[in-house]
A and B are shown apart, each in its own frame.
Chain A
Amino acid sequence: MDRYDRLFAPLRLGPVLLPNRVVFAAHLTNYAEDGLPTARHAAYYAARAAGGAGLVVVEESSIDPGDRPYEKLIRGFDPAVVPGYRAITDAVHAAGAVVLAQVNHNGGQSDGTHTRTPVDAPSPVPDPLFREVPRELDAAGIARLVAGYADVAARCVAGGFDGVEVQGSQSSLVRQFLSRATNRRTDGYGGRPEHRARFLVEVLTAVREALGPGRALGVRLAGDEGVDGGTTLDEAVATARLLARGGLVDYVSTTVGVATATLERVIPPMTTPPGYARYVSAAIRAAVDVPVIGVGRFLSPAQAERSLADGDCDLVGVVRGQIADPRFAVKARTGRAADIRTCLGCNQECVGRVGLNRPLGCVTNPRAGRETLLPAPSRRRRVLVVGGGPAGMRTAATAAQRGHEVTLLEASAQTGGSIRLAAAAPGRDGLRPLVDDLAAECARAGVTVRTGVHATAATVRAHRPDVVVLATGARPVRPAWAGTADRVVDVRDVLAGRADPRGAVLVVDDLGSAAAPSVAELLAGRGCAVELVTAAMVVGQDLGLTLDRPAWRRRAAALGIRESPDRLVQGISGRVVRLLHHPTGAEETREADWVVVALPAAPDDALSGELRDAGLAVHRVGDCLAPRRASAATLDGDRLGLAL
């Protein structure tokens, strides 16, 4: 059994003692309603605390009514937040963890959409995402905001927090003051590094005063902004040193990147290797004598333990890892690290939903943000699940965990369904833990899994189930324009090895997901000359939402993949593919040896009607109901599993 001694060694943050080094670091959830924390927040954080996290840092509370970059920001300046704070802190404390509040002002990384007022910033430099010219803060404005930080800190104490963390990182006025890219001031708050740090020093001093004794005060700094003229690692180290030497903070937390410019560095996609951000915490740790929190895709306790052993950091910020499995820490501590449900780094439901003003979720953990107890079934039923993809396995695992007698039939030799196929593409192997972990969960829950069984109505009836769940997925659809052309194949054919295109390949993206881009990459890597065609304005629209685009663009450029948006395929004869450039109506042709299509699939629900006619209770989940993303599969499955 691995022991992870360092990970589970207690640590003091100033006056506060942490039971271990696992941190559930601050991140946006969109769980607030009317600017107030909710019961959903409390349950969410408490689940991670009960799951063994030593420190929970609650998502940002804003210190000023003029700061509202997104609708569901917690209004820390509003005295009405205290009961919500209290519900969170009581729940986390009851589970044995320490809980801090992050306090913040987003400065120019905002606009007036929700406030109907100008945004405040060090200088009138528009943010690359929000694009609104800010108003330059004057001395009175600065003093008002410093007092606002202190006021909210005092409210956090009243709400039962063990201290606060001042955000000076990915989206903050503090960072804008620290960074030359956004601070063009010529007064005492701009210019030399210690002048740019003056606002932060004033904030920390005021917050410390407001916290009083016995509470911890930390700061989160952006180590390396990755933007032109932005804060470099050396500058961040110098700032951390200044703060630590002055005794202003009890710890330093770290990030890489800027939320509104280089978010793919803050919350990297699955292609970014774990440990990508260790250089930041390591450099800061070498310069300060207070504990440092490192971040950056800690996927396993072993990796976290190694980072502590290597001196990268004193604590590990595991956010997505604990979204995916709230019991990450306790499983590590009790020798069950192998049972941890691993974060995929897919960014679909966490980053992807939060960026769209929706509550945070998780593909692999459909219960994230829905931390409810499993209701016991009213009576034990025989459940037969047909199909061992993510929807079928999730249904089976949840139903079995509730005490049902569950059998799962899978036609192929292995469970995993379309996920196993998708994971075969370059850069997509991060998806694999979704189905590996589900298979393990089914096994632990006592699901009888029979592979290589092609279910028919007769097989199903012979099983004498009380309930039948169809999770038989979807099948590729041949495009109408393809006619009888034999070298038009689906991305699934390529991934499954049923087709092996060579030469000039046209990949047609009608989905906008990772399917077409990743298969294009696969084929280009095999030496094909690949052109990606889509009717949309950009190829692979969804890559933007999951923050995969920057790295994909670089890989595609290196592989020489050509992108042709705004084009519809009209037909094919021999090697000649006819395209329509739909904005102008211009007709074009391409010579291609193969055409690979990524099209909406059709539900494979042939059994459904037959079983219903036989009088069986039939449910459909996942793609066999409507072909959608993996998140729909796991959520359909969990919801049905809970309802049976």
Chain B
Amino acid sequence: MLFGPHETNLGRRRALSERHVAYYARRAAGGCGIVVTETASVHPSDWPYERAPLAADCGPGWAAVVAACRPHGALVLAGLGHTGGQGSSAYTQAALWAPSPVPDVATREVPAEMGQPEVDALVDGFRAAATTAVTAGVDGVEVDAGARSLLRQFASGLTNTRTDAYGTDRLLLLRRVLAAIRAELGAGRVLALRLSCDEEAPWAGITPSAAVAVAAELAPLVDLLVVVRGSGLATSSYRPDGHTPPGFNTGLTRAVRAAAGGTPVALQGSVVDVPDAQRALDDGVADAVEMTRAQIADADLVTKARSGLPVRPCTLCNQACQVRDVRNPLVSCVADPGSGHETEDPDPRNGLRGHGGHSGLGWGVVVAGGGPAGLEAARVLAAAGVEVSLVERSDRLGGALHLVAALPGRARFTDLAAWLAGECARLGVRVRFGADGARDADVVATGGRPRPLAGACVVSAADVLAGAELSPGPVVVHDPAGGPVGVGVAELLAASGRPVTVVTPDEVVGVRLAGDLAPANTRLLRAGVRREPGRVLRSVDGGGAVLADRWTGAEVRVPCAVLVDAGPGLPGDVPPGALPAGDVVAPRTVLEAVLEGRRAAHAVLAGRRRGQAGDGRA
């Protein structure tokens, strides 16, 4: 079981930090077999994001990660790479390095073509990084030739148009790098290669059939081959969200393994459920399985799977774990917001037990609201041995998780609801349905209020997701948020056969979707959804909506029988003295709900019953 390399923003400048150490150690303690650390740049010419590790600065960090993981039996591989023309010049403020001056489609920046001195410096960089890693005591290194890598750029006809030896033999550089590293590693250390085996650009890129030949050539040089997909033209294919079915690299990996001549091969690509991983091994797809996001969602995945306990599911939402974002958010998880915060948040394995349950606290705890915040609060309290009763207004647990799960590609939020409810049941939480217990509750997680809607033909996106009956005719989705809700509702309604228009003041529809932005717009266009970006909704009346251009004020009228408001709701009402959590404080995402539910539980355990749970400072 691998925990693959990924951006975390946990670093301190370009070194691995104590946050990294705690983050990896937590997964090692949870039973992970191989931890690959965040890919470190092997040369200062590569600085793809502000906190990107630099191998030269990583020696002490690697040593600390090894020291923290080894007692748990995990191997630590140092991730090494260079992002070349897919990097950023923002931090070096110097020209990017690439095999050829082919601009990356995302940044549009023309890189400088590497000459022989730069190629040699790159090989030396890999060699020096391997030396640093060996000195730090790692069990091996993993070389990145994946979706964002200079080595893949050399291997691909999309980005390598050279006429020298590195162009006529596009694997020459990779072989030189692997040989240089192998010489440094010596015997007894692992050399792994992360290789993009499908660039999803068949006109010039690496195709699955070409990749089989590449793998056959390179496999003898390495000890582990991790099969991935993606390229500069398909960056979101590497770790896609729930719109892509899990295990999408299965066929590709099987084919590569058949050509790898016995070199172990790892399956990567949205493998998030343990049974799927086991099946891949049983079926001969791979010799190892990478479950990165699944172990961000549940650090104890392996030990839980071994002992038959239910694993907290990864929702494949990519909301908090994909942190290639200029704001430098720390890696985290909507299902487990403690991920990435191991050094500051209470460790769920310590300190919470021994509060003595009912007798210890002297009273039972009442939680109002069975959405993600209330369920998490109840779960944490019950796990600490407290007697908990949970009061839920409706007739089922999960709250807003079910609305989120109704969006396309987000069905796994149902799994999260089921896991939370299942854990509460397993831990003995008593649930009372059809009652509003907020007035007497210790923790209030009763959700937000709907925003008043302007007009009879207006419905909220939440109502649509809850299955409200809509009048027939064309729909206008007004999306001031730019997140998954507006786009998702538009997709659902278009799929039901209605003419749909999405209106947003933003320059593009779904501006906050990050990795799903381009795929989402493609889906909308293919579904025939009309997009009206840069527009402000002026009015709605019988049959039409008036939209004004945000900049010129020019108005257009679009057919509209139903207007769907995809904006956020309002905070709910909190009775005095209760600990509020989640949307009742202010409607936000599942992550905040789970986090605040957990904090409210901790506050109860600490004997605090007043104040605002959302406020970590209280």
Residues of A within 8 A of B96 (CB): 626
Contact present for B526 and A554 (CB under 8 Å): no
Interface with A: B199-207, B489-497, B581-589, which one? B581-589
Is A65's beta carbon under 8 Å from chain B?
Answer: yes
Contact of B526 among A65, A114, A583 (CB under 8 A): A583
Q: Which of B55-96 contact A (CB under 8 A)?
A: 89-91, 93-96
- Roughly how many angstroms separate A639 CA and B512 CA in the complex, as a whole number? 37
Interface SS of B by simple majority: loop
Residues of A within 8 A of B517 (CB): 537
Contact present for A133 and B586 (CB under 8 Å): yes
- Roughly how many angstroms separate A477 CA and B483 CA in the complex, as a whole number? 38
Q: Mark A590-603, 1 if CB is under 8 A from B, else 0.
A: 00000000001111
Q: Interface size class for chain B?
A: 35 or more
Contact of B551 among A537, A554, A639 (CB under 8 A): A554
Contact present for A135 and B586 (CB under 8 Å): yes
Contact present for B110 and A358 (CB under 8 Å): no
Is B327's beta carbon under 8 Å from chain A?
Answer: yes
Residues of A within 8 A of B615 (CB): 66, 117-118
Contact present for A625 and B521 (CB under 8 Å): no
Q: Which of A77-118 contact B (CB under 8 A)?
A: 112-118
Interface with A: B31-39, B101-109, B457-465, which one? B101-109
Interface SS of A by simple majority: loop
Interface with B: A448-456, A486-494, A521-529, A628-636, which one? A628-636
Contact present for B482 and A628 (CB under 8 Å): no
- Roughly how many angstroms separate A602 CA and B100 CA in the complex, as a whole number? 11
Which residue of chain B lies nearest to A121 when distances are taken between CB atoms in the complex?
B586
Q: A561 → chain B, closest Cβ, in Å? A: 12
Is A356's beta carbon under 8 Å from chain B?
Answer: yes
Is A240's beta carbon under 8 Å from chain B?
Answer: no
Q: B552 → chain A, closest Cβ, in Å? A: 5
Contact present for A636 and B94 (CB under 8 Å): yes
A632-B617 in contact given A118-B585, A537-B521, A583-B526 (Cβ < 8 Å): no
Q: Mark B546-585, 1 if CB is under 8 A from A, else 0.
A: 0001011010000000000001111100000000000001
Q: A110 → chain B, closest Cβ, in Å? A: 11
Which residue of chain B lies nearest to A629 when distances are taken between CB atoms in the complex?
B109
Residues of A within 8 A of B595 (CB): 116
Contact of A600 among B108, B482, B522 (CB under 8 A): B108
Contact present for A113 and B329 (CB under 8 Å): yes
Is B525's beta carbon under 8 Å from chain A?
Answer: yes
Contact present for B552 and A557 (CB under 8 Å): yes
- Roughly how many angstroms separate A112 CA and B587 CA in the complex, as a whole number? 12
Residues of B within 8 A of A353 (CB): 90
Contact present for B507 and A632 (CB under 8 Å): no
- Roughly how many angstroms separate A231 CA and B18 CA in the complex, as a whole number? 47
Residues of A within 8 A of B508 (CB): 537-538
Is A502's beta carbon under 8 Å from chain B?
Answer: no
Q: A260 → chain B, closest Cβ, in Å? A: 13
Is B264's beta carbon under 8 Å from chain A?
Answer: no
Is B326's beta carbon under 8 Å from chain A?
Answer: yes
Q: List 28 A-B contacts (CB under 8 A).
A: A112-B588, A114-B329, A116-B616, A117-B615, A117-B617, A118-B592, A128-B505, A131-B482, A131-B483, A131-B568, A133-B569, A133-B586, A356-B326, A358-B326, A511-B108, A512-B108, A537-B508, A549-B551, A553-B551, A557-B554, A566-B521, A583-B525, A600-B101, A601-B110, A626-B95, A632-B93, A635-B93, A636-B95
Residues of A within 8 A of B (CB): 65-66, 70-71, 112-119, 124, 126, 128, 131-136, 353, 356-358, 361, 510-512, 537-538, 544, 549-550, 553-554, 557-558, 566, 581, 583-584, 600-603, 625-628, 632, 635-636, 639
Residues of B within 8 A of A (CB): 50, 89-91, 93-96, 101, 103, 108-112, 326-329, 337, 341, 448, 480-483, 505, 507-508, 512, 517-518, 521-522, 525-526, 533-534, 549, 551-552, 554, 567-571, 585-588, 592, 595, 612, 614-617
